[in-house]
Amino acid sequence: MKNLVIVESPNKIKALEKYLGNNYIIKASVGHIVKLPSSGPHGFGVDLETWIPNYKIDPSKKKIIKEIKKELNEVNKVYIATDPDREGEAIGDNLVNFLDIKDKYYRIRFNEITKIAIENAIKNPQKLDLKLVNSQIARRILDRIIGYKLSKIMQTKIKNSPTYPSAGRVQSIALKLVFEREKLIKSFVSTKYKVISAKLENNLIAIFYLKNGKFKNNTWVDESQINEIKSKFSNELIIKNIEIKKKKEKKIIPFKQSTLYKKGNSSIGMSASVIQNTVQRLYEGYGEGGLISYPRTDSTRLSNTFVNHAKEYILNKYGKEYLSDKILGISGDQDAHEAIRPTSIKLTPKKAKIKFDLNDREYKLYKLIWENTMKSLMKVPIRENINYKLSELDLLYKLSYSKIIFDGYYKVVEMKEIDSKKEIKIPKFNIGDKFKVKKYNIEDKETQPPSRYNDGSLIKTLDDIKVGRPSTFASIIRILKKRFYVDMENKAMKITDFGNIVYKKLIEGFPKFMNEEYTAMLEKDLNEIAKGKKDYKEMLTIFWNSFEKQIEKQIEKTQVTIIPLEKSDKLCPKCNSNLVVRTNKRDGNKFLGCPKFPKCKHAEPKPGFEPKFIKKNFKKNNKK
């Protein structure tokens, strides 16, 4: 008899069929097969006494389940091959229960879609980890309770909102971070300072510095000191000291998901959702195996097997002197997988582009992952810094130069901007050498406010404060944008007026649930459940008792906020009222509607703006 393998994504089927052969049937669940209905107490879909979720088959998955069930009588074993994380474990558990295959299933896990990984998984079948399943159930119920309750309050307490306002365990903390960053920016008071430089002969520029200045940065000069310094300007500077130091560059750590988001956003300009979709395609591969390891990871460690293969590659290509003595990396809370890395270090970005016909985004992201992994396994570059210290009349200046004397991991980078490739020639001067000053320059400078969050930096911050999971980060960012809580300006998030209203309602009414430490504590509890150190039902009972009391206490105190609607000059043809600009809460489209809605349902397109829904509703509401 044949064996059945159930994966999450249909994109994995072709590669697994190739690796496993004709004795295996591969089917895809296409993600979760169940939904948590809005039924029972408070619409949570959960028994509040037993904390058992009332899962129902997702109607859109009935055909998929039917097709899988067809194969069950024809197979000997069923292998659950869902993703190697808590979410994948929960999907596997639901498959086992709803397919009724408790006596014939095996759980297999693989961190990459390669022949070796798949074959090893089949040779080492296991059972589902119910500790991980319980952790996912607890997370799902927490998010349902907090999201349903707080979102409903926001929707009843805010009128004329442009979208259906929502709140959530992680989403609301993300909104808080954006709000507080904007508050910092608005309250920021810049510090003015000056920078002095001397233009010398041979186009040399010496920078003035203070040993004991007002600022930490010794090249910053306070306005009050300028006149005294100018009075000591001379026509000649003399080298009084030469300082030569060697400095190692920063050690590179393999990517976890949050770091990849930040780097991908800053270096190649990709949004979180684009990165998420692209790395998923790279992981699943293109019918011939995956290009990278599992991307939804909070781990930065690399397996010994991969490290050994990679070291052999580096040794043969670059030599022993480039191999790192120490590889940095830590196991994450969900240590079912490794850091994000290539499945084969021999598959260089150029080879991958040709072999798999990668598009521009796929190529750039794969290149970023491949190079970062290589650099994490190689010795760091060494830089030589030379400072010529010049002075005259107690004023100090520096001529600073730097060059790379050992390229280390720069060897793998296309180094158009790395100075070791430019053959920089550092001038050789001696103590006592004199230079004529052609001109002194005094530049006005001022400190800048902190930068706004972009997709990557916000995800990195959420990860740093231990709020949220790798699998949810991109969706959290997407919700902030979809709800119109933030606008994007130069790829950075600026909180909107609507975002401000929602945040203030949440922080005033429910400060405990807008607290990073409390949210991180819940995340820690989920990790403890995953390790079997905490009972998920006890944890939910404690949470619910506290949550319910605070909600009931605050719901009556929370005031209704009515967002004023923009009036237009156009009059309603039915009641002669000035039409107002309204927003379709489902898609964000603007239209003109009667202020007396729902008594008067007249609606018409906003001039210069014709969303699809208006074409239908306009005709329907204006027949008479």
In three-state secondary structure terms, 271 is coil
Residue with the two structure tokens 């296991």: 126
Q: Rounded to an integer, what distance in angstroms lies between the CA atom of residue 193 and that of residue 377?
A: 42
Structure tokens at 474: 């991109």
Print burial letters for 182-197: b (CB count within 10 Å at least 16), e (below 16): beeeeeeeeeebbbbb
| pLDDT at residue 414, as a whole number | 57
Query: Which residues are designated catalytic?
Result: 294
Residues 6+ apart with CB under 8 A from 234: 392, 393, 395, 437
For 175-186, the pLDDT digits (tens) are 999 999 999 999
Beta bridge partners of 406: 382
Q: Are 299 and 337 in contact (CB under 8 A)?
A: yes
Mean pLDDT is lowest, of 215-224, 502-511, 599-608, for: 599-608
pLDDT-derived band at 613, boundaries 50, 70, 90: very low
Domain ranges of the chain: 2-128, 137-187+452-555, 192-250+381-446, 257-376, 567-621
513: Cα within 13 Å, side-chain hemisphere: 30
Q: Are 577 and 597 in contact (CB under 8 A)?
A: no
Q: Rounded to an integer, what distance in angstroms lies between the CA atom of residue 532 and that of residue 534?
A: 6
- The yes-or-no verdict on residue 531 having pLDDT over 60 is yes
pLDDT-derived band at 213, boundaries 50, 70, 90: confident
> Is the domain defined by 2-128 classed in CATH 3.40.50.140?
yes
State the first-to-last Cα distance of the chain, in angstroms, to the nearest integer: 68
pLDDT-derived band at 583, boundaries 50, 70, 90: confident
CATH label, 567-621, candidates 2.20.25, 1.10.1060, 1.10.3470, 2.60.40: 2.20.25
pLDDT-derived band at 618, boundaries 50, 70, 90: very low
In three-state secondary structure terms, 77 is strand
Rg for the chain (alpha carbons), in Å? 31
In eight-state DSSP terms, residue 75 is E
Nearest of 149, 48, 142, 55 to residue 94 by alpha carbon = 55
For 265-309, the pLDDT digits (tens) are 988 889 999 999 999 999 999 888 899 999 999 889 998 889 999
Distance of alpha carbon 333 from the chain centroid:
17
For 375-390, the pLDDT digits (tens) are 999 999 999 999 999 9
Residues 6+ apart with CB under 8 A from 294: 83, 84, 85, 111, 112, 283, 337, 338, 340
Beta bridge partners of 78: 4, 105
Q: Rounded to an integer, what distance in angstroms lies between the CA atom of residue 166 and that of residue 156?
A: 11
Mean pLDDT on 510-521: 90
- The yes-or-no verdict on residue 620 having pLDDT over 70 is no
CA angle centred on 378, ends 375 and 381, rounded to 5°:
85
Mean pLDDT is lowest, of 18-32, 153-167, 507-521, 604-618, for: 604-618
Residues 6+ apart with CB under 8 A from 512: 518, 546, 550
Helix ranges restricted to H, 73-221 = 86-99, 115-123, 130-157, 171-187
List the CATH code of the domain at 137-187+452-555. 1.10.460.10
Integer angstrom CA distances of residue 65 from 61, 101, 328: 6, 13, 44
| pLDDT at residue 394, as a whole number | 85
293: Cα within 13 Å, side-chain hemisphere: 32
Mean pLDDT is lowest, of 96-110, 271-285, 405-419, for: 405-419
Write the burial class of residue 125 (CB in 10 Å: 0-12 exposed, 13-18 middle, 19+ buried): middle
Superfamily of chain region 257-376: Topoisomerase I, domain 4 (1.10.290.10)
Q: Are 272 and 477 in contact (CB under 8 A)?
A: yes
| pLDDT at residue 605, as a whole number | 86
Print burial letters for 330-349: b (CB count within 10 Å at least 16), e (below 16): eebbbebbbbbbbbbbebbb
Looking at the chain, the whole-number percentage of residues with pLDDT higher than 90 is 74
Q: Are 252 and 324 in contact (CB under 8 A)?
A: no
Residues 6+ apart with CB under 8 A from 31: 8, 9, 91
Residues 6+ apart with CB under 8 A from 497: none
In eight-state DSSP terms, residue 53 is B
Q: Are 495 and 178 in contact (CB under 8 A)?
A: yes
Q: Rounded to an integer, what distance in angstroms lies between the CA atom of residue 400 and that of residue 595?
A: 68
Structure tokens at 98: 């709803």
Nearest of 515, 478, 489, 484 to residue 501 by alpha carbon = 484
- The yes-or-no verdict on residue 622 having pLDDT over 60 is no
Residue with the two structure tokens 């903390």: 173
Q: Are 109 and 336 in contact (CB under 8 A)?
A: yes
Integer angstrom CA distances of residue 585 from 272, 500, 506: 24, 18, 20
CATH topology of domain 192-250+381-446: Topoisomerase I; domain 3 (2.70.20)
Integer angstrom CA distances of residue 25 from 3, 283, 291: 6, 21, 23
Q: Are 492 and 308 in contact (CB under 8 A)?
A: no
- The yes-or-no verdict on residue 598 having pLDDT over 90 is no
Residue with the two structure tokens 């990195």: 460
Hey, how many other C-beta atoms are within 10 angstroms of the C-beta on 421? 14
Q: Rounded to an integer, what distance in angstroms lies between the CA atom of residue 103 and that of residue 5?
A: 15
Q: Rounded to an integer, what distance in angstroms lies between the CA atom of residue 146 and that of residue 92?
A: 25
pLDDT-derived band at 610, boundaries 50, 70, 90: low
- The yes-or-no verdict on residue 406 having pLDDT over 90 is yes
Query: Hey, what amino acid is at 474?
Result: A
DSSP string, 519-558: HHHHHHHHHHHHTTSS-HHHHHHHHHHHHHHHHHHHHTTS
